A and B are shown apart, each in its own frame.
Chain A
Amino acid sequence: MVIDTAGLTFNFGNQTVVKSLSLQVPEGSIYGFLGPNGAGKTTTIKLLLNLLQVQQGSINIFGKELKSNRLEILSQIGSLIEQPAIYLHLTGKENLLNRALLLQISEKRVDDMLNLVHLTDAAHKKAGQYSLGMKQRLGIALALLSDPKLLILDEPTNGLDPNGIIEIRELLIKLVKEHQKTVFISSHLLAEIERMATHVGIINHGELLFQGSIKELESMNKPLVQIETDNIADAANYLSRNNVTVSDVTEQHIYVPYTSKQQMGEINALLNQMGYVVYSINKQQQDLEKLFLAITQTA
Chain B
Amino acid sequence: MKGFILSFRSEFYKTRKTAGFWSAVILPLLLCLLLFIGFYSHSDKLAGLPGIMLWIQFSGAILGVMGSLLLPMLIVFIAYSVNSVEHKADTWKTLFSLPISKLSVYSAKFFYALFLVLLCLALFVLFTIGFGNLLGVLKPQLKFSEYSMASTLTQLYFKLFLSSLGILSIQFLLSLLFRDFLKPMGIGFVATITGVILAANKWTYAYLFPYSHPMLALSILPHHGQAPASPGMPVITIDMFTKEILVSLIVAVTVFIAGYFIVLKKSVK
Q: Is B10 an interface residue (CB 8 A)?
A: yes
Q: Is B97 an interface residue (CB 8 A)?
A: yes
Interchain CB contact under 8 A, A46 and B268: yes
Question: Which segment, of A22-30, A77-85, A170-178, A198-206, faces chain B?
Answer: A77-85
Q: Is A101 an interface residue (CB 8 A)?
A: yes
Q: Is B98 an interface residue (CB 8 A)?
A: yes
Interchain CB contact under 8 A, A85 and B94: yes
Interchain CB contact under 8 A, B91 and A104: no
Given A51-B93, A77-B97, A83-B90: A101 in contact with B268 (beta carbons within 8 A)? no
B74-92 with Cβ < 8 A to chain A = 85, 88-91
Interchain CB contact under 8 A, A98 and B99: no
Q: How far is the CA of A102 from the CA of B6 in the complex (A)?
A: 5
Q: Say how far A147's CB is from chain B's closest CB, in angstroms.
A: 13
Given A46-B268, A83-B90, A89-B18: A103 in contact with B13 (beta carbons within 8 A)? no
Q: How far is the CA of A101 from the CA of B13 in the complex (A)?
A: 9
Q: How far is the CA of A71 from the CA of B100 in the complex (A)?
A: 6
Q: Is B7 an interface residue (CB 8 A)?
A: yes
Given A98-B13, A101-B10, A102-B6: A88 in contact with B88 (beta carbons within 8 A)? yes
B51-65 with Cβ < 8 A to chain A = none
Residues of A within 8 A of B9 (CB): 101
Residues of A within 8 A of B89 (CB): 85-88
Q: How far is the CA of A98 from the CA of B100 in the complex (A)?
A: 14
Residues of B within 8 A of A89 (CB): 17-18
Residues of A within 8 A of B99 (CB): 71-72, 74-75, 103
Q: Is A134 an interface residue (CB 8 A)?
A: no
Q: Say how far B16's CB is from chain A's closest CB, in angstroms.
A: 10
Q: Say how far B169's CB is from chain A's closest CB, in angstroms.
A: 24
Nearest A residue to B98 via CB reads: A102
Interchain CB contact under 8 A, B10 and A98: yes
Q: Is B96 an interface residue (CB 8 A)?
A: yes
Q: Is B267 an interface residue (CB 8 A)?
A: yes
Given A86-B89, A89-B17, A90-B17: A49 in contact with B10 (beta carbons within 8 A)? no
Interchain CB contact under 8 A, B267 and A51: yes
Q: Is A1 an interface residue (CB 8 A)?
A: no
Residues of A within 8 A of B94 (CB): 79, 81, 85, 142
Q: How far is the CA of A30 from the CA of B195 in the complex (A)?
A: 59
Q: How far is the CA of A104 from the CA of B93 in the complex (A)?
A: 19
Q: Say how far A41's CB is from chain B's closest CB, in angstroms.
A: 15
Q: Which of B13, B14, B97 contacts A49 (CB 8 A)?
A: B97
Interchain CB contact under 8 A, A74 and B98: yes
A66-121 with Cβ < 8 A to chain B = 71-72, 74-75, 77, 79, 81-83, 85-90, 94, 97-98, 101-104
Q: Which of A79, A83, A87 contacts B97 (CB 8 A)?
A: A79
Q: Is A166 an interface residue (CB 8 A)?
A: no
Q: Say how far B164's CB is from chain A's closest CB, in angstroms.
A: 27
Residues of A within 8 A of B6 (CB): 101-102, 104
Q: Is A231 an interface residue (CB 8 A)?
A: no
Q: Say how far A205's CB is from chain B's closest CB, in angstroms.
A: 20
Q: How far is the CA of A44 from the CA of B126 in the complex (A)?
A: 53
Mask, A232-263, CB within 8 Å of B = 1, is: 00000000000000000000000000000000
Q: Which of A53, A79, A97 contacts B13 (CB 8 A)?
A: A97
Interchain CB contact under 8 A, A103 and B98: yes
Nearest A residue to B102 via CB reads: A70
Interchain CB contact under 8 A, A52 and B268: yes
Nearest A residue to B265 via CB reads: A53
Residues of A within 8 A of B88 (CB): 88
Q: Is B101 an interface residue (CB 8 A)?
A: yes
Nearest B residue to A75 via CB reads: B99
Q: How far is the CA of A79 from the CA of B267 in the complex (A)?
A: 17
Residues of B within 8 A of A97 (CB): 13
Q: How far is the CA of A50 from the CA of B17 in the complex (A)?
A: 31
Interchain CB contact under 8 A, B10 and A46: no
Q: Say how far B83's CB is from chain A's closest CB, in angstroms.
A: 13
Q: How far is the CA of A82 from the CA of B90 in the complex (A)?
A: 10
Interchain CB contact under 8 A, A85 and B90: yes
Mask, B218-239, CB within 8 Å of A = 1, is: 0000000000000000000000
Residues of A within 8 A of B13 (CB): 94, 97-98, 101
**Contacts A/B (CB < 8 Å), 30 sampled:** A46-B267, A49-B93, A49-B97, A50-B96, A51-B93, A51-B96, A51-B267, A52-B268, A53-B265, A71-B100, A72-B99, A74-B97, A74-B98, A77-B97, A81-B94, A82-B90, A83-B90, A85-B89, A85-B91, A85-B94, A86-B91, A87-B14, A87-B91, A88-B89, A90-B17, A98-B10, A102-B6, A102-B98, A102-B100, A142-B94
- Interface set of B (CB-CB < 8 Å, partner A): 6-7, 9-10, 13-14, 17-18, 85, 88-91, 93-94, 96-101, 265, 267-268
- A-B interface, 8 closest residue pairs, ranked by CB to CB distance from nearest: A75-B99, A85-B91, A51-B268, A74-B99, A85-B94, A49-B97, A87-B89, A71-B99
